[in-house]
Structure 1
Amino acid sequence: MPTEKSHLEPHDDPQRDGDAAPDSTSAFTAATGRDLEADHGKPRYLAYQRELIRPHCGRTVLEVGAGLGEFASGFTGFDRYVVTDVDSGAVRKLKERFRDRPEVEVQQYDIDGGTKLDRPVETLIAINVLEHIEDDISALRRLSESLTPKGNIVLFVPGYQQLYGEFDRKVGHFRRYTPTTVAATAREAGLVVETARPVNFLGAFAWWAAVRKGGTTSPNPRLVSLYDRFVVPVTRAIEKYLPVPFGQSVLCVARKPG
Protein backbone atom coordinates (compact mmCIF):
# COMPACT_ATOMS: atom_id res chain seq x y z
CA MET A 1 0.00 0.00 0.00
CA PRO A 2 1.16 3.58 -0.47
CA THR A 3 2.82 5.22 2.50
CA GLU A 4 1.89 8.64 3.81
CA LYS A 5 4.62 11.23 4.13
CA SER A 6 5.42 12.82 7.47
CA HIS A 7 6.02 16.45 8.37
CA LEU A 8 8.49 17.67 10.95
CA GLU A 9 8.19 20.33 13.58
CA PRO A 10 10.40 23.41 13.01
CA HIS A 11 12.96 22.33 15.61
CA ASP A 12 13.57 18.98 13.86
CA ASP A 13 16.53 20.23 11.83
CA PRO A 14 18.59 17.34 10.40
CA GLN A 15 21.83 19.15 11.12
CA ARG A 16 21.17 18.69 14.83
CA ASP A 17 21.59 14.94 14.38
CA GLY A 18 25.25 13.96 14.29
CA ASP A 19 24.59 11.22 11.71
CA ALA A 20 22.90 13.52 9.19
CA ALA A 21 24.89 14.55 6.14
CA PRO A 22 23.53 17.80 4.66
CA ASP A 23 24.51 16.80 1.12
CA SER A 24 22.95 13.33 1.22
CA THR A 25 19.23 12.95 0.62
CA SER A 26 19.24 9.37 1.90
CA ALA A 27 21.02 10.38 5.11
CA PHE A 28 18.67 13.36 5.53
CA THR A 29 15.55 11.23 5.28
CA ALA A 30 16.96 8.51 7.52
CA ALA A 31 18.05 10.96 10.20
CA THR A 32 14.73 12.76 10.37
CA GLY A 33 12.39 9.82 9.93
CA ARG A 34 10.89 11.13 6.69
CA ASP A 35 11.54 7.77 5.03
CA LEU A 36 8.60 6.39 7.03
CA GLU A 37 6.20 8.31 4.83
CA ALA A 38 8.38 9.15 1.83
CA ASP A 39 6.90 9.29 -1.65
CA HIS A 40 9.73 7.64 -3.55
CA GLY A 41 9.15 4.17 -5.00
CA LYS A 42 5.53 4.75 -6.02
CA PRO A 43 5.46 6.64 -9.33
CA ARG A 44 2.04 5.31 -10.36
CA TYR A 45 0.43 6.38 -7.11
CA LEU A 46 1.94 9.84 -7.42
CA ALA A 47 0.65 10.05 -11.00
CA TYR A 48 -2.82 9.09 -9.74
CA GLN A 49 -2.68 11.78 -7.03
CA ARG A 50 -1.73 14.39 -9.64
CA GLU A 51 -4.58 13.23 -11.87
CA LEU A 52 -7.07 13.65 -9.02
CA ILE A 53 -5.77 17.05 -7.93
CA ARG A 54 -5.03 18.81 -11.24
CA PRO A 55 -8.66 19.56 -12.22
CA HIS A 56 -9.02 21.67 -9.06
CA CYS A 57 -5.92 23.81 -9.65
CA GLY A 58 -5.65 27.32 -11.06
CA ARG A 59 -2.59 28.84 -12.69
CA THR A 60 -0.85 29.64 -9.39
CA VAL A 61 -0.30 26.99 -6.72
CA LEU A 62 1.10 26.71 -3.21
CA GLU A 63 2.05 23.25 -1.93
CA VAL A 64 2.59 23.10 1.84
CA GLY A 65 4.49 20.30 3.53
CA ALA A 66 6.15 19.24 0.28
CA GLY A 67 8.90 17.21 1.96
CA LEU A 68 11.55 16.50 -0.66
CA GLY A 69 9.28 17.47 -3.57
CA GLU A 70 8.27 14.10 -5.01
CA PHE A 71 4.75 15.27 -5.86
CA ALA A 72 5.83 18.64 -7.26
CA SER A 73 8.56 17.09 -9.41
CA GLY A 74 5.98 15.74 -11.83
CA PHE A 75 3.39 18.49 -11.45
CA THR A 76 4.09 21.04 -14.16
CA GLY A 77 2.41 23.53 -16.48
CA PHE A 78 1.69 26.33 -14.00
CA ASP A 79 2.54 30.02 -14.11
CA ARG A 80 3.74 29.99 -10.50
CA TYR A 81 4.28 27.04 -8.17
CA VAL A 82 5.33 27.77 -4.59
CA VAL A 83 6.75 24.66 -2.94
CA THR A 84 7.28 24.79 0.82
CA ASP A 85 8.10 22.89 3.96
CA VAL A 86 8.39 23.78 7.64
CA ASP A 87 11.81 22.14 7.92
CA SER A 88 14.89 24.09 6.86
CA GLY A 89 16.71 20.94 5.73
CA ALA A 90 13.89 20.04 3.39
CA VAL A 91 13.84 23.60 2.04
CA ARG A 92 17.51 23.33 1.13
CA LYS A 93 16.86 20.09 -0.74
CA LEU A 94 13.87 21.63 -2.52
CA LYS A 95 15.98 24.55 -3.72
CA GLU A 96 18.50 22.14 -5.19
CA ARG A 97 15.85 19.99 -6.81
CA PHE A 98 13.91 22.80 -8.48
CA ARG A 99 16.70 25.19 -9.40
CA ASP A 100 16.07 24.54 -13.12
CA ARG A 101 12.31 25.22 -12.99
CA PRO A 102 11.86 29.02 -13.22
CA GLU A 103 8.18 28.93 -12.27
CA VAL A 104 8.96 27.26 -8.94
CA GLU A 105 9.53 29.30 -5.77
CA VAL A 106 10.84 27.54 -2.66
CA GLN A 107 10.02 28.90 0.77
CA GLN A 108 10.03 27.82 4.39
CA TYR A 109 6.41 27.84 5.49
CA ASP A 110 5.20 27.26 9.05
CA ILE A 111 1.44 26.82 9.33
CA ASP A 112 1.44 27.00 13.13
CA GLY A 113 3.75 30.01 12.99
CA GLY A 114 1.27 31.99 10.91
CA THR A 115 3.26 32.09 7.67
CA LYS A 116 1.35 33.42 4.67
CA LEU A 117 2.33 34.37 1.13
CA ASP A 118 2.91 38.00 0.19
CA ARG A 119 1.19 37.24 -3.14
CA PRO A 120 -1.77 34.87 -2.67
CA VAL A 121 -2.31 31.95 -5.04
CA GLU A 122 -5.39 30.44 -6.66
CA THR A 123 -4.85 26.95 -5.25
CA LEU A 124 -3.31 25.52 -2.09
CA ILE A 125 -2.40 21.81 -1.94
CA ALA A 126 -1.84 19.98 1.35
CA ILE A 127 -1.05 16.28 0.94
CA ASN A 128 -0.93 14.34 4.22
CA VAL A 129 -0.45 17.49 6.26
CA LEU A 130 -3.66 18.26 8.16
CA GLU A 131 -3.63 15.06 10.22
CA HIS A 132 -0.32 16.17 11.79
CA ILE A 133 -1.87 19.36 13.23
CA GLU A 134 -3.85 19.14 16.46
CA ASP A 135 -6.01 22.22 15.79
CA ASP A 136 -6.85 21.49 12.17
CA ILE A 137 -9.64 24.08 11.96
CA SER A 138 -7.34 26.95 12.92
CA ALA A 139 -4.72 25.58 10.52
CA LEU A 140 -7.16 25.74 7.61
CA ARG A 141 -8.10 29.31 8.53
CA ARG A 142 -4.44 30.28 8.44
CA LEU A 143 -3.85 28.45 5.17
CA SER A 144 -6.74 30.25 3.51
CA GLU A 145 -4.96 33.57 4.12
CA SER A 146 -2.55 32.59 1.32
CA LEU A 147 -5.44 32.11 -1.14
CA THR A 148 -7.12 34.56 -3.47
CA PRO A 149 -10.89 34.99 -3.05
CA LYS A 150 -12.68 31.91 -4.47
CA GLY A 151 -9.39 30.01 -4.45
CA ASN A 152 -9.31 26.28 -3.69
CA ILE A 153 -7.72 24.33 -0.87
CA VAL A 154 -7.09 20.75 -2.00
CA LEU A 155 -6.65 18.36 0.91
CA PHE A 156 -5.41 14.79 0.61
CA VAL A 157 -5.62 13.15 4.04
CA PRO A 158 -5.45 9.63 5.52
CA GLY A 159 -8.86 8.00 5.59
CA TYR A 160 -10.95 6.30 8.28
CA GLN A 161 -10.11 5.99 11.95
CA GLN A 162 -10.63 2.22 11.75
CA LEU A 163 -7.31 2.12 9.87
CA TYR A 164 -5.46 4.07 12.57
CA GLY A 165 -2.55 1.98 13.89
CA GLU A 166 0.94 2.06 15.32
CA PHE A 167 2.33 3.53 12.10
CA ASP A 168 0.00 6.53 12.48
CA ARG A 169 1.11 7.07 16.06
CA LYS A 170 4.77 6.76 15.15
CA VAL A 171 4.61 9.45 12.47
CA GLY A 172 2.50 11.86 14.54
CA HIS A 173 -1.00 11.52 13.13
CA PHE A 174 -3.60 13.01 15.44
CA ARG A 175 -6.40 11.44 13.43
CA ARG A 176 -7.61 9.95 10.17
CA TYR A 177 -10.61 11.45 8.36
CA THR A 178 -13.82 10.45 6.64
CA PRO A 179 -15.38 12.59 3.91
CA THR A 180 -17.88 13.81 6.52
CA THR A 181 -15.29 14.80 9.15
CA VAL A 182 -12.88 16.54 6.77
CA ALA A 183 -15.79 18.43 5.18
CA ALA A 184 -17.02 19.49 8.62
CA THR A 185 -13.52 20.71 9.49
CA ALA A 186 -13.35 22.76 6.31
CA ARG A 187 -16.77 24.31 6.93
CA GLU A 188 -15.83 25.20 10.51
CA ALA A 189 -12.82 27.02 9.03
CA GLY A 190 -15.18 29.14 6.90
CA LEU A 191 -14.66 27.32 3.61
CA VAL A 192 -17.22 26.13 1.08
CA VAL A 193 -16.82 22.41 0.42
CA GLU A 194 -16.94 21.45 -3.26
CA THR A 195 -16.23 17.73 -2.88
CA ALA A 196 -15.11 15.23 -0.25
CA ARG A 197 -14.73 11.59 -1.22
CA PRO A 198 -12.69 8.48 -0.44
CA VAL A 199 -9.91 7.39 -2.78
CA ASN A 200 -7.59 4.39 -3.03
CA PHE A 201 -10.23 1.78 -2.27
CA LEU A 202 -7.96 -1.26 -2.58
CA GLY A 203 -5.26 0.46 -0.57
CA ALA A 204 -7.58 0.50 2.45
CA PHE A 205 -7.59 -3.31 2.55
CA ALA A 206 -3.81 -3.49 2.24
CA TRP A 207 -3.39 -0.83 4.94
CA TRP A 208 -5.78 -2.62 7.29
CA ALA A 209 -3.94 -5.92 6.83
CA ALA A 210 -0.45 -4.43 7.20
CA VAL A 211 -0.96 -1.75 9.84
CA ARG A 212 -4.03 -2.66 11.87
CA LYS A 213 -3.62 -6.45 11.87
CA GLY A 214 0.02 -6.84 10.98
CA GLY A 215 1.28 -4.10 13.29
CA THR A 216 3.60 -2.65 10.65
CA THR A 217 5.45 0.44 11.89
CA SER A 218 7.57 1.11 8.80
CA PRO A 219 7.00 0.52 5.08
CA ASN A 220 8.50 -2.43 3.26
CA PRO A 221 10.02 -0.93 0.08
CA ARG A 222 9.54 -4.13 -1.90
CA LEU A 223 5.85 -4.41 -0.98
CA VAL A 224 5.28 -0.71 -1.68
CA SER A 225 6.85 -1.15 -5.11
CA LEU A 226 4.75 -4.24 -5.89
CA TYR A 227 1.60 -2.45 -4.74
CA ASP A 228 2.43 0.53 -6.91
CA ARG A 229 3.09 -1.64 -9.94
CA PHE A 230 0.15 -4.02 -9.80
CA VAL A 231 -2.61 -2.66 -7.54
CA VAL A 232 -2.58 1.08 -8.17
CA PRO A 233 -3.50 0.72 -11.89
CA VAL A 234 -6.51 -1.43 -10.91
CA THR A 235 -7.58 1.05 -8.23
CA ARG A 236 -7.20 3.91 -10.69
CA ALA A 237 -9.39 2.13 -13.26
CA ILE A 238 -12.10 1.27 -10.71
CA GLU A 239 -12.31 4.77 -9.27
CA LYS A 240 -12.37 6.41 -12.68
CA TYR A 241 -15.83 4.97 -13.32
CA LEU A 242 -17.29 3.96 -9.96
CA PRO A 243 -17.78 5.77 -6.64
CA VAL A 244 -16.20 3.79 -3.80
CA PRO A 245 -17.58 3.50 -0.25
CA PHE A 246 -14.25 4.02 1.56
CA GLY A 247 -10.54 4.24 0.91
CA GLN A 248 -7.09 4.59 2.39
CA SER A 249 -7.26 8.35 1.78
CA VAL A 250 -9.84 11.12 1.43
CA LEU A 251 -9.76 13.90 -1.16
CA CYS A 252 -11.43 17.16 -0.14
CA VAL A 253 -11.68 20.34 -2.20
CA ALA A 254 -12.89 23.46 -0.41
CA ARG A 255 -13.27 27.00 -1.77
CA LYS A 256 -12.47 30.26 -0.03
CA PRO A 257 -15.53 32.53 -0.20
CA GLY A 258 -15.36 35.45 -2.58
Structure 2
Amino acid sequence: MQEHAGAFSNATGRALEQGGADQPRYRRYQRELIAPYCGRSVLEVGAGLGEFAAEFTGLDRLVVTDADPGAVSLLDKRFSDRPEVEARQLALGNDFELAEPVESVIAINVLEHIEDDAGALAALAKLVVPGGTIVLWVPGYQQLYGEFDRRVGHFRRYTPATVSDAVLRAGLTVEVAKPVNLLGGIAWWAAVRRGGSTAPNPKLVAVYDRVVVPVTRAVERRVRVPFGQTVLCVARTPAAT
Protein backbone atom coordinates (compact mmCIF):
# COMPACT_ATOMS: atom_id res chain seq x y z
CA MET A 1 0.00 0.00 0.00
CA GLN A 2 2.99 2.34 0.56
CA GLU A 3 3.92 2.10 -3.11
CA HIS A 4 3.37 5.52 -4.73
CA ALA A 5 3.54 7.34 -1.39
CA GLY A 6 3.98 11.03 -2.13
CA ALA A 7 2.40 10.72 -5.57
CA PHE A 8 -0.24 13.35 -4.75
CA SER A 9 2.32 15.99 -3.79
CA ASN A 10 4.55 15.16 -6.74
CA ALA A 11 1.64 15.51 -9.17
CA THR A 12 0.06 18.66 -7.72
CA GLY A 13 2.74 20.59 -5.88
CA ARG A 14 0.52 20.48 -2.78
CA ALA A 15 1.01 18.67 0.52
CA LEU A 16 -1.73 16.31 1.67
CA GLU A 17 -1.80 18.05 5.05
CA GLN A 18 -2.20 21.50 3.52
CA GLY A 19 -5.19 20.59 1.39
CA GLY A 20 -6.00 22.99 -1.41
CA ALA A 21 -7.37 26.46 -1.93
CA ASP A 22 -11.16 26.57 -1.77
CA GLN A 23 -12.57 26.90 -5.29
CA PRO A 24 -16.33 26.27 -4.98
CA ARG A 25 -17.24 28.15 -8.16
CA TYR A 26 -14.59 26.36 -10.19
CA ARG A 27 -15.78 22.97 -8.93
CA ARG A 28 -19.34 23.79 -9.93
CA TYR A 29 -18.07 24.88 -13.34
CA GLN A 30 -16.26 21.54 -13.76
CA ARG A 31 -19.33 19.61 -12.66
CA GLU A 32 -21.59 21.43 -15.11
CA LEU A 33 -19.30 20.47 -17.99
CA ILE A 34 -18.54 16.89 -16.91
CA ALA A 35 -21.76 15.58 -15.35
CA PRO A 36 -23.89 15.48 -18.55
CA TYR A 37 -21.58 12.81 -19.97
CA CYS A 38 -21.63 10.53 -16.92
CA GLY A 39 -23.84 7.58 -16.08
CA ARG A 40 -25.13 6.48 -12.69
CA SER A 41 -21.95 4.62 -11.73
CA VAL A 42 -18.64 6.50 -11.91
CA LEU A 43 -14.96 5.84 -11.25
CA GLU A 44 -12.82 8.91 -10.65
CA VAL A 45 -9.10 8.42 -11.34
CA GLY A 46 -6.70 10.67 -9.45
CA ALA A 47 -9.38 11.96 -7.09
CA GLY A 48 -6.76 13.50 -4.79
CA LEU A 49 -8.46 14.95 -1.74
CA GLY A 50 -11.94 14.41 -3.16
CA GLU A 51 -12.64 18.05 -3.99
CA PHE A 52 -14.50 17.24 -7.20
CA ALA A 53 -16.14 14.09 -5.84
CA ALA A 54 -17.59 16.07 -2.93
CA GLU A 55 -19.56 18.12 -5.48
CA PHE A 56 -20.63 15.07 -7.48
CA THR A 57 -23.69 13.71 -5.71
CA GLY A 58 -26.81 11.76 -6.64
CA LEU A 59 -25.03 8.73 -8.11
CA ASP A 60 -25.79 5.08 -7.47
CA ARG A 61 -22.08 4.29 -7.14
CA LEU A 62 -18.90 6.37 -7.02
CA VAL A 63 -15.43 4.83 -6.79
CA VAL A 64 -12.80 7.44 -5.89
CA THR A 65 -9.19 6.46 -6.47
CA ASP A 66 -5.68 7.83 -6.24
CA ALA A 67 -2.20 6.41 -6.67
CA ASP A 68 -1.11 7.89 -3.32
CA PRO A 69 -2.07 5.71 -0.32
CA GLY A 70 -2.17 8.80 1.89
CA ALA A 71 -4.75 10.40 -0.37
CA VAL A 72 -6.79 7.18 -0.40
CA SER A 73 -6.85 7.17 3.40
CA LEU A 74 -8.10 10.76 3.43
CA LEU A 75 -10.71 9.93 0.79
CA ASP A 76 -11.95 7.01 2.85
CA LYS A 77 -12.42 9.28 5.87
CA ARG A 78 -13.96 12.13 3.91
CA PHE A 79 -16.67 9.99 2.35
CA SER A 80 -17.32 7.65 5.26
CA ASP A 81 -20.87 9.04 5.55
CA ARG A 82 -21.70 8.41 1.89
CA PRO A 83 -22.52 4.72 1.43
CA GLU A 84 -22.39 4.94 -2.39
CA VAL A 85 -18.72 6.01 -2.30
CA GLU A 86 -15.80 3.57 -2.20
CA ALA A 87 -12.14 4.66 -1.90
CA ARG A 88 -9.51 2.53 -3.64
CA GLN A 89 -5.86 2.83 -4.61
CA LEU A 90 -5.31 2.91 -8.37
CA ALA A 91 -2.05 3.68 -10.14
CA LEU A 92 -2.31 3.54 -13.91
CA GLY A 93 0.02 0.88 -15.22
CA ASN A 94 -0.74 -1.46 -12.30
CA ASP A 95 -3.40 -4.16 -12.28
CA PHE A 96 -6.80 -2.92 -11.11
CA GLU A 97 -10.14 -4.67 -11.14
CA LEU A 98 -13.70 -3.75 -10.26
CA ALA A 99 -16.36 -6.19 -9.13
CA GLU A 100 -18.64 -4.57 -11.72
CA PRO A 101 -17.66 -2.14 -14.48
CA VAL A 102 -18.82 1.46 -14.25
CA GLU A 103 -20.76 3.48 -16.78
CA SER A 104 -18.24 6.31 -16.75
CA VAL A 105 -14.66 7.12 -15.79
CA ILE A 106 -13.58 10.67 -14.93
CA ALA A 107 -9.90 11.67 -15.08
CA ILE A 108 -9.24 15.28 -14.07
CA ASN A 109 -5.66 16.42 -14.67
CA VAL A 110 -4.35 12.86 -14.87
CA LEU A 111 -3.57 11.88 -18.47
CA GLU A 112 -0.79 14.46 -18.89
CA HIS A 113 1.21 12.61 -16.22
CA ILE A 114 1.23 9.36 -18.23
CA GLU A 115 3.83 8.92 -20.95
CA ASP A 116 1.79 6.21 -22.71
CA ASP A 117 -1.50 8.07 -22.67
CA ALA A 118 -3.21 5.81 -25.22
CA GLY A 119 -2.21 2.74 -23.22
CA ALA A 120 -3.65 4.28 -20.06
CA LEU A 121 -6.93 5.01 -21.82
CA ALA A 122 -7.12 1.46 -23.16
CA ALA A 123 -6.64 0.14 -19.61
CA LEU A 124 -9.36 2.42 -18.24
CA ALA A 125 -11.73 1.34 -21.01
CA LYS A 126 -11.64 -2.19 -19.58
CA LEU A 127 -13.31 -0.84 -16.42
CA VAL A 128 -16.20 0.72 -18.36
CA VAL A 129 -19.36 -0.93 -19.67
CA PRO A 130 -19.72 -1.22 -23.47
CA GLY A 131 -20.83 2.13 -24.82
CA GLY A 132 -19.78 3.93 -21.64
CA THR A 133 -17.73 7.09 -21.37
CA ILE A 134 -14.30 8.26 -20.28
CA VAL A 135 -14.40 11.98 -19.49
CA LEU A 136 -11.02 13.71 -19.63
CA TRP A 137 -10.14 17.11 -18.21
CA VAL A 138 -6.57 17.84 -19.30
CA PRO A 139 -4.32 20.94 -19.35
CA GLY A 140 -4.54 22.71 -22.67
CA TYR A 141 -2.03 23.95 -25.21
CA GLN A 142 1.72 23.49 -25.22
CA GLN A 143 2.14 27.28 -25.45
CA LEU A 144 1.12 27.37 -21.77
CA TYR A 145 3.67 24.74 -20.71
CA GLY A 146 5.89 26.26 -18.02
CA GLU A 147 8.06 25.50 -15.03
CA PHE A 148 5.06 24.40 -12.96
CA ASP A 149 4.23 21.74 -15.58
CA ARG A 150 7.79 20.46 -15.47
CA ARG A 151 7.88 20.32 -11.68
CA VAL A 152 4.69 18.26 -11.37
CA GLY A 153 5.66 15.81 -14.12
CA HIS A 154 3.50 16.82 -17.06
CA PHE A 155 4.65 15.08 -20.22
CA ARG A 156 2.53 17.41 -22.31
CA ARG A 157 -0.40 19.78 -22.52
CA TYR A 158 -3.13 18.92 -25.03
CA THR A 159 -5.12 20.40 -27.87
CA PRO A 160 -8.44 18.93 -28.98
CA ALA A 161 -6.56 17.25 -31.84
CA THR A 162 -3.82 15.66 -29.71
CA VAL A 163 -6.17 14.33 -27.02
CA SER A 164 -8.44 12.98 -29.77
CA ASP A 165 -5.43 11.21 -31.27
CA ALA A 166 -4.72 9.48 -27.94
CA VAL A 167 -8.36 8.42 -27.67
CA LEU A 168 -8.40 6.98 -31.18
CA ARG A 169 -5.12 5.12 -30.64
CA ALA A 170 -6.73 3.52 -27.58
CA GLY A 171 -9.48 2.11 -29.78
CA LEU A 172 -12.16 4.49 -28.53
CA THR A 173 -14.29 7.07 -30.30
CA VAL A 174 -14.33 10.80 -29.67
CA GLU A 175 -17.66 12.33 -28.73
CA VAL A 176 -16.43 15.74 -27.58
CA ALA A 177 -13.05 17.48 -27.73
CA LYS A 178 -13.02 21.20 -27.08
CA PRO A 179 -11.08 23.91 -25.23
CA VAL A 180 -12.65 25.42 -22.12
CA ASN A 181 -11.71 28.18 -19.68
CA LEU A 182 -10.36 30.84 -22.04
CA LEU A 183 -9.88 33.42 -19.29
CA GLY A 184 -8.10 30.85 -17.16
CA GLY A 185 -5.74 30.21 -20.05
CA ILE A 186 -4.89 33.89 -20.26
CA ALA A 187 -4.34 34.03 -16.50
CA TRP A 188 -2.16 30.89 -16.65
CA TRP A 189 -0.06 32.39 -19.45
CA ALA A 190 0.51 35.54 -17.37
CA ALA A 191 1.31 33.71 -14.13
CA VAL A 192 3.23 30.67 -15.36
CA ARG A 193 4.65 31.43 -18.79
CA ARG A 194 5.41 35.10 -18.23
CA GLY A 195 5.56 35.23 -14.46
CA GLY A 196 7.45 31.97 -13.97
CA SER A 197 5.19 30.79 -11.15
CA THR A 198 6.08 27.31 -9.89
CA ALA A 199 3.22 26.79 -7.42
CA PRO A 200 -0.39 27.99 -7.04
CA ASN A 201 -0.75 31.26 -5.12
CA PRO A 202 -3.71 30.76 -2.73
CA LYS A 203 -4.63 34.46 -2.79
CA LEU A 204 -4.66 34.60 -6.59
CA VAL A 205 -6.59 31.32 -6.74
CA ALA A 206 -9.25 32.78 -4.44
CA VAL A 207 -9.57 35.93 -6.59
CA TYR A 208 -9.74 33.83 -9.74
CA ASP A 209 -12.52 31.69 -8.26
CA ARG A 210 -14.53 34.66 -7.03
CA VAL A 211 -14.13 36.99 -10.03
CA VAL A 212 -12.99 35.15 -13.15
CA VAL A 213 -14.90 31.86 -12.97
CA PRO A 214 -18.40 33.41 -12.98
CA VAL A 215 -17.49 35.43 -16.07
CA THR A 216 -16.01 32.35 -17.73
CA ARG A 217 -19.17 30.31 -17.10
CA ALA A 218 -21.39 33.08 -18.47
CA VAL A 219 -19.31 33.56 -21.61
CA GLU A 220 -18.80 29.89 -22.43
CA ARG A 221 -22.51 29.09 -22.14
CA ARG A 222 -22.99 31.32 -25.18
CA VAL A 223 -19.73 31.16 -27.12
CA ARG A 224 -17.48 28.27 -28.16
CA VAL A 225 -14.00 29.51 -27.32
CA PRO A 226 -11.00 28.81 -29.60
CA PHE A 227 -8.45 28.33 -26.80
CA GLY A 228 -8.40 27.59 -23.09
CA GLN A 229 -6.48 26.54 -20.04
CA THR A 230 -8.12 23.11 -20.31
CA VAL A 231 -9.34 20.69 -22.94
CA LEU A 232 -12.50 18.69 -22.23
CA CYS A 233 -12.68 15.37 -24.04
CA VAL A 234 -15.35 12.69 -23.89
CA ALA A 235 -14.36 9.27 -25.22
CA ARG A 236 -16.81 6.43 -25.72
CA THR A 237 -16.03 2.75 -25.42
CA PRO A 238 -17.17 0.38 -28.19
CA ALA A 239 -20.79 -0.73 -27.91
CA ALA A 240 -21.57 -4.36 -27.22
CA THR A 241 -21.84 -6.51 -30.34
Give the TM-score taking structure 1 as reference length: 0.87
Name the structure 1 match of 2:190: 209
* Corresponding residue to 2:40 among 59, 65, 85: 59
CA distance in 2, matches of 1:221, 1:51: 24
Aligned residues: CA RMSD: 1.9
Name the structure 2 match of 1:142: 123
Deviations 1:211-258 (A, max 9, x none): 001100011100110010000000000001110000000000010011
Q: CA deviation at 1:39?
A: 5.0
Q: CA deviation at 1:74?
A: 1.1
Counterparts of 1:40-189 in structure 2 under 5 Å?
40-189=21-170
CA distance in 2, matches of 1:157, 1:33: 17
CA distance in 2, matches of 1:138, 1:96: 32
Gap regions ≥5 residues in structure 2? none
Q: State yes or no: 1:237 paired with 2:229.
A: no
Counterparts of 1:223-234 in structure 2 under 5 Å?
223-234=204-215
Name the structure 2 match of 1:13: 5
Name the structure 2 match of 1:34: 14
Letter in 1 for 2:115: E
The answer to whether the Cα contact below 8 Å between 1:98 and 1:104 also exists between their aligned partners in 2 is yes
Deviations 1:115-139 (A, max 9, x none): 2323100000000000000110100
Q: CA deviation at 1:111?
A: 1.3
Question: Relative to 1, partners in 2 of residues 1:201 and 1:33: Cα closer, same or farther, differing over 3 Å?
Answer: closer
Q: CA deviation at 1:11?
A: 3.6
Name the structure 2 match of 1:220: 201
SS in 1 for 2:121: helix
Question: Relative to 1, partners in 2 of residues 1:39 and 1:159: Cα closer, same or farther, differing over 3 Å?
Answer: farther
Question: Relative to 1, partners in 2 of residues 1:105 and 1:91: Cα closer, same or farther, differing over 3 Å?
Answer: same
Give the TM-score taking structure 2 as reference length: 0.93
Letter in 2 for 1:56: Y
Q: CA deviation at 1:12?
A: 4.0
CA distance in 2, matches of 1:187, 1:246: 22
Name the structure 2 match of 1:19: none
The answer to whether the Cα contact below 8 Å between 1:40 and 1:70 also exists between their aligned partners in 2 is no
Deviations 1:40-94 (A, max 9, x none): 3211111100010010010100001000100001110000001111111111000
CA distance in 2, matches of 1:124, 1:12: 21
Letter in 2 for 1:210: A
CA distance in 1, matches of 2:83, 2:96: 23
SS in 2 for 1:241: coil
Letter in 1 for 2:14: R
Letter in 1 for 2:189: W
